[in-house]
Chain A
Amino acid sequence: MNSSRLPAAEFDVEEVVRAAHPADTADLEPGTEMLRVLSPDGTMASGLTARIAGETVDFTPYLAADAEHLRSLYRDMFLIRRFDQESTALQRQGQLALWVPLTGQEAAQIGSGRALAPQDYAFPTYREHGVALTRGVEFAEILRLFRGVTNGGWDPRERNFHLYTLVLAAQALHAVGYAMGMQRDQLADPSLPPAASIAYFGDGASSEGDVHESMVFAASFDAPVVFFCQNNQWAISVPSSVQAKVPLAQRAAGYGFPGIRVDGNDVVAVEAVTRWALEHARSGRGPVLIEAYTYRMSAHTTADDPTKYRLSRDEQEWQSRDPLVRLESHLRSAGLADDTFFGDLDAEARTMATELRRAVLAMTAPDLADRFAAVYAEPHPLIQEELRFFEQYEAGFADEGKHA
């Protein structure tokens, strides 16, 4: 007979937050300029300029808006969303241990990923499937990790795309360290092409100490690094308004480098701004913070239930800013793509999903011996002995179980 207070924990927090921050998202948006080219209704601006750190920067040269390019951006976003949906279904069917959905953040990921040059190096969180796509990582390779049959999934050196970081914010330190290393390599060998690293993180990780430390170091050494923060509004169940009293992009000023807020659901603007920032970093002018203002339209992971902490009204509000919908309406209204294009893409996505499902079901767990083989590069007598012991131990069971 108590239960007006039943699911107490979640709702109490929400009430406190709402009382402390009435209309939180609305608060933050007008304060800072948010760069945008493609508006939610699908109309495209011809140029983009902004005041950054007291100077006027013209992003127009970095804009790539020809038809072919826009269609390929749309294709990447469409495929990655379909991949996301199929992976979620596979998790629900017991084929993946966990899945981290990205739906809603396609533009931020595809736009920034496509801005990277081959020699640049990306450090992702565990949600950067879109960036992985732009770096040429196979979808099935990503799912190997989430099926738990590998510790990594791909060779980061082949694609200049680091392994997923599961303990978040650490990758910001890795990215700065890598950037400082590239800086030194270039001093030693000036013939190397200028390159930058890019650190992906979210509004949640921005509250962690690692990000602060990495920004201090990056600023101190003018490291060629771009901090790419996808502010998806939710650090699992904590709204970003609780963690950031000023727009996240403004924090860069405190470290002494430029910070830009871009509409994270506008793939064209994200790409242009990231191109500019990478060039800024590569040319030795130091780091840049980009805050891509977006929304996690799905759950934090498949183990999360967002209906417990956020309102469906908010979710619906963001539906209208969907990154795919707006590019599609632009492509259609500007006559850059027709039903054939969308139909073909649809078919391509289906084939991809089918292939993906087949690939996942065919994945096999690694042998026990593989674990031991990964300890040292070369055979090691102690490891060999331990392997023999474990094989003997495993063979001692009467039942025919897989090792759990």
Chain B
Amino acid sequence: MTLNTFNLPDVGEGLTEAEIVQWKVAPGATVSVNDIICEIETAKSLVELSSPYAGTVSELLVAEGETIEVGTPIISVEDAESAPEAAHDGGQGGAASDAPVHDGGPDGDVDRVIEADAEAAASPQDAIGTADDAPVPVPRMPGEFSGAESGAAGVQAAPGTAAPEVTPGPLVGTGPKADAVKRRPRKQQGAPGAGHVAPSSGAGRPASGPASPAPAAQAPAPAGSTAPDPAAPATRESAGRSAPQPAAEPPARVNPLNQLINRVLAKPPVRKAARDLGINLADVPATGSAGEVTKQDLMSYQSQRDAEQDGADSFWADRKVLGGGRIERIPVKGVRKATARAMVQSAFTAPHVSIFVDVDASRTMEFVKRLKASRDFEGIKVSPLLILAKAVIWAAARNPSVNATWSDDEILVKHFMNLGIAAATPRGLMVPNIKDAQNLSLKELALALNDLATTARAGKTQPAQMQGGTLTITNIGALGIDTGTPIINPGEVAIVAFGTIKQKPWVLDGEVIPRWITTLGGSFDHRVVDGDLSARFMADVASILEEPALLLD
């Protein structure tokens, strides 16, 4: 019985990390070699990973939704007696599964190894037959998510007896990492006599000089670690790396390349700036792609140093959390990048005008409550968003210009409503839309909303579902926000923000009473929708929330 762990491989060329999107197996499940175990998302694509081991899943080491570095163990598979191959021929099979792992192990196992090997060699046909009992899928080819049948070539071989042969081989193909290089610790290279090392490292910080100087030469460095050399403040680097130089007669030949190798990497302008600022580059945390100190690193280090001098450090004491710098870097990529691009495009091309209206949505709340209780809507999730969606469709028909597109020389008024719903999804902001929402009954609309939300939340929204939107609702109320100024989805001219609904004091017939109040916010492209039109549209939407019965007319 052996526990094999599978480390996250680099499935692309030089990828450094991936997110576990979905596990296809659970602890206790039986897997064969090449069975799909999970789906991961890399910077390049969604990829299915297959198991290199046969056995029983013992543990999933990474949760869904977690982003991990290449090389991190993700699953452990127990090579147990209960594995299907083993079950076929009992204890013998178990030994066969164990064999390669114990190779070279305790003597007791060696016989069994030989036996198992001999068995495998003698009768490959039998071994294949064994595999037939537990059919293993032929590995899928990349990019076959479309449901096209794999291979398609009639009879396909299954990777049969590969299972027992698998040993946890070395992970290759991870390549050099694109992120900051980690410096490997160097051996302490004292003089050949071991006794010499002790005094020099007395300062608690062992000198890490590449060559081995005489102890006498090495001693001054740790001792005067405050600042022996004004030109280069005392640091690990100066202590460790410049120490060898004064050595009068190094016992081993010092290769000048060593000094180059140990030098802190930085481009000449950064070096000069550091010199001008009196900063030792070795003190600056390097984030460059090849482990070099970048200009940014230097600047953040300096601002950090300034802060220290101002005594404000006690307040920002936890800056180590940010990796030593004062600025946290979040790479802009994927959905974030696309969102940013689209927002800038929209905000700087369409002149936005935003208006707000407070609404007494108490009747909407009652209506929703009644719908939930009605037999017709049994099992369907109903929320005030449904009423708002219906209200927007109704109001757009009365004010058609809000359901339009601006194209410089003409305005395209859409006589259909592809109603977009902005959704926060695991992959970022998505705006899938409900096609021809104007044709849907209340119930159909409710179903469409549910469907859209489920798909988006599962991260399975297809590009086509996000194209061709005509008007968008963003439900910021779901997050407890009263209102905001939404930015129009590019290609549209109006967006409605639905604030949270909560009980507030409201004046009705001269009396203050608690009512369910919400705020509607709307942004409109002023090139198409003028103030009075946007006001009429918002008032119409509000009127439905105040009295859903108006939908009946």
Contacts and interface: CB of A to CB of B under 8 A. Distances in A.
B44 A324 contact: no
Contact of A297 (B141, B161, B166, B469): B141
Contact of B342 (A2, A148, A307): A2
Interface stretch (A87-95, A128-136, A193-201, A202-210): A87-95
B539 interface: no
B185 to A, nearest CB: 4
A343 B44 CA distance: 38
A320 to B, nearest CB: 9
Contact of B141 (A5, A8, A88, A322): A88
A220 to B, nearest CB: 38
Interface residues of A, number: 74
Contacts of A401: 184
B257 interface: yes
B139 A92 contact: yes
A307 B335 CA distance: 17
Given A4-B491, A8-B338, A353-B162, A85 B172 contact: no
Contact of B169 (A7, A324, A361): A361
Contacts of B45: 304-305, 307-308
B160 A354 contact: yes
Contacts of B488: 1
A216 interface: no
Contacts of B491: 4-5
B185 A397 contact: yes
Contacts of A404: 176
Interface in B4-35: 6-13, 15, 33-34
A347 B257 contact: no
Contacts of A11: 463, 467
A351 B161 CA distance: 8
Interface string A313-324: 001100100101
Interface stretch (B89-97, B143-151, B279-287, B508-516): B143-151
Given A2-B346, A103-B151, A305 B489 contact: no
Contact of B46 (A103, A305, A319): A305
A78 interface: yes
Contacts of A148: 172-173
A3 interface: yes
B444 to A, nearest CB: 22
Contacts of A149: 172
Interface in B261-314: 261
A4 B139 contact: no
A46 interface: no
B486 interface: yes
Contact of A5 (B33, B159, B184, B490): B490
B395 interface: no
A188 to B, nearest CB: 45
B184 A397 contact: yes
A85 B7 CA distance: 21
A316 B166 contact: no
A101 interface: yes
B338 A4 contact: no
Contacts of B7: 94
Contacts of A346: 155-157
A358 interface: yes
A358 to B, nearest CB: 5
B165 A361 contact: yes
B463 A85 contact: no
A352 B446 CA distance: 55
Nearest to A404: B176
Given A85-B138, A315-B146, A354 B50 contact: no
A353 B157 contact: yes
A396 interface: yes
Interface in A77-101: 78, 81-82, 84-86, 88-89, 91-98, 101
B431 A3 contact: yes
Contacts of A342: 154-155
B422 interface: yes
A187 B488 CA distance: 75
Contact of A1 (B15, B48, B255, B431): B431
A36 interface: no
Interface in A48-103: 78, 81-82, 84-86, 88-89, 91-98, 101, 103
**Which of B131, B188, B486, B489 lies at the interface centre, i.e. has the most chain A CB atoms within 10 A of its CB?**
B489
B139 A398 contact: no
B495 interface: yes
A304 B47 CA distance: 10
A351 B129 CA distance: 12
A360 B173 CA distance: 13
27 contacts: A1-B343, A1-B420, A1-B429, A1-B487, A2-B489, A4-B466, A4-B490, A4-B491, A5-B338, A85-B138, A91-B9, A91-B11, A91-B173, A94-B8, A95-B9, A312-B147, A319-B152, A324-B154, A342-B154, A346-B155, A350-B159, A353-B162, A354-B159, A360-B169, A396-B189, A397-B184, A401-B184
Given A2-B338, A304-B142, 6 more contacts: A4-B469, A82-B156, A88-B142, A89-B139, A97-B175, A306-B142
Interface of B: 6-13, 15, 33-34, 44-52, 124-125, 128, 131, 138-149, 151-162, 165-167, 169-176, 184-189, 210, 255, 257-258, 261, 335, 338-339, 341-343, 345-346, 420, 422, 429-433, 463, 466-469, 472, 474, 486-491, 495
Nearest 5 pairs of A and B residues by beta carbon: A94-B9, A2-B342, A305-B45, A312-B146, A97-B173
